[in-house]
């Protein structure tokens, strides 16, 4: 079944159809899956067929795929190597293994490698396939919700400390394979304790939420902002070219952050915002902990030298 034909069907079916990416290189099995899903009276489907993992990348970029049906016997990959190849694709949708190999041990292994389900083609029918697809999508949504709760700061909605370290782990691993610029900026709100003490914790929470909203604005997809805890935030920058470009990006962000904050409670005063910021650029051998430690040291230098300033770790003369 061609992609062009399925796009036409999708227009007729409307937005309620589930978009399935079928990675299968046997035309007979493509037809088999299509007929099975056509027989589902409860749900309509739009099927996009490609014959290899590499070909799936284009479809995943062009369409909001709900689920991948994966055959393990492709021309370029076979068995669990196919799953491992699929696992290299970031932010992919859930996938179900749909294969001609009927092997319970292989099925169990597929699940441990990330598959939501394992269906031997010889045992499949319309009801089984449809049910597996729906359950896989719902289970994936639930697990993703749980995962997001674990890495999201409850007050601000920003990535939390755990998420920051996970992101840095990935970026540093990439930088070690492919050297590229990477920097973290640690941001501390000056005099935040006075806001809590004088105006109350509800005012402090409102201030943190406003600063969080400003941090998220105009942030490139490749970059990240997060809350370490208290009044400390982190910006992670990568894919910049020079330190001057990084400085310009930080200056632009700082200008937005320093705009006075009017709190939701109109009885409270407008707050002037000053920030102490420390920046550290990654060097070979630095772990996430050491990189953040350098940014923290630079931030405390800013705080103890007049506040409301930005310091690069590279500017510090004292040893680590």
* Among 76, 231, 272, 296, the one annotated catalytic: 231
- With 0-12 / 13-18 / 19 or more C-beta atoms within 10 angstroms meaning exposed / middle / buried, residue 258 is middle
Residue 40 CA to its chain's centroid (Å)? 33
Residue with tokens 């941001």: 187
Query: Using CA atoms, how far apart are residues 114 and 94, in angstroms rounded to an integer?
Result: 8
- With 0-12 / 13-18 / 19 or more C-beta atoms within 10 angstroms meaning exposed / middle / buried, residue 183 is buried
Q: Say how many Å lie between the first and final Cα of the chain, rounded.
A: 62
DSSP per position, 105-139: HHHHHHHHTT-SEEEEGGG--HHHHHHHHHHHHHH
Looking at the chain, list the stretches that DSSP marks H as alpha helix, in order from N- to C-terminal side.
Answer: 3-13, 27-38, 53-62, 80-87, 104-112, 126-150, 161-177, 192-199, 201-216, 243-257, 288-303
- With 0-12 / 13-18 / 19 or more C-beta atoms within 10 angstroms meaning exposed / middle / buried, residue 86 is buried
| Contact yes or no for 46/54 (Cβ under 8 A) | no
Tokens of 2: 């061609």
Q: Residue 97 half-sphere exposure, CB side, CA atoms within 13 Å?
A: 32
The DSSP element (H or E) to which 157 belongs, if any, is none
Active site residue 231: yes
Q: Where in the sequence numbering do the catalytic residues fall? A: 231
């Amino acid at each position: 079944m061609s992609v062009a034909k399925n796009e036409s069907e999708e227009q007729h079916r409307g937005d309620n159809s589930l978009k399935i990416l079928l990675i299968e290189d046997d035309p007979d099995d493509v037809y088999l899956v299509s007929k099975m899903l056509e027989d589902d009276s409860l749900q309509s489907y739009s099927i996009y067929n490609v014959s290899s993992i590499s070909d799936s990348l284009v479809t995943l970029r062009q369409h909001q795929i709900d689920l991948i049906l994966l055959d393990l016997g492709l021309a370029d990959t076979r068995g669990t190597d196919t799953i491992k190849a699929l696992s290299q694709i970031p932010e992919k949708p859930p996938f179900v293994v749909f294969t001609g190999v009927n092997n319970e041990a292989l099925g169990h292994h597929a699940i441990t490698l990330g598959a939501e389900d394992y269906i031997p083609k010889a045992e499949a029918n319309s009801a089984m396939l449809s049910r597996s697809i729906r359950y896989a999508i719902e289970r994936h949504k639930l697990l993703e919700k749980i995962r997001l709760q674990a890495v999201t700061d409850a007050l601000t909605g920003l990535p939390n400390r755990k998420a920051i370290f996970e992101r840095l782990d990935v970026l540093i691993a990439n930088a070690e394979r492919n050297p590229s610029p990477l920097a973290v900026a640690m941001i501390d709100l000056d005099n935040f304790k006075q806001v809590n003490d004088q105006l109350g914790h509800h005012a402090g929470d409102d201030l943190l939420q406003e600063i969080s909203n400003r941090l998220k604005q105009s942030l490139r997809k490749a970059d990240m902002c997060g809350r370490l805890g208290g009044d400390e935030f982190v910006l992670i920058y990568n894919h910049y070219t020079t330190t001057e470009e990084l400085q310009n990006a930080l200056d632009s962000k700082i200008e937005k952050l320093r705009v006075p904050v009017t709190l939701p409670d109109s009885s409270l005063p407008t707050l002037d915002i000053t920030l102490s910021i420390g920046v550290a650029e990654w060097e070979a051998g630095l772990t996430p902990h050491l990189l953040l430690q350098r940014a923290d040291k630079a931030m405390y230098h800013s705080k103890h030298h007049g506040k409301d300033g930005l310091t690069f770790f590279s500017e510090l003369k004292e040893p680590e």
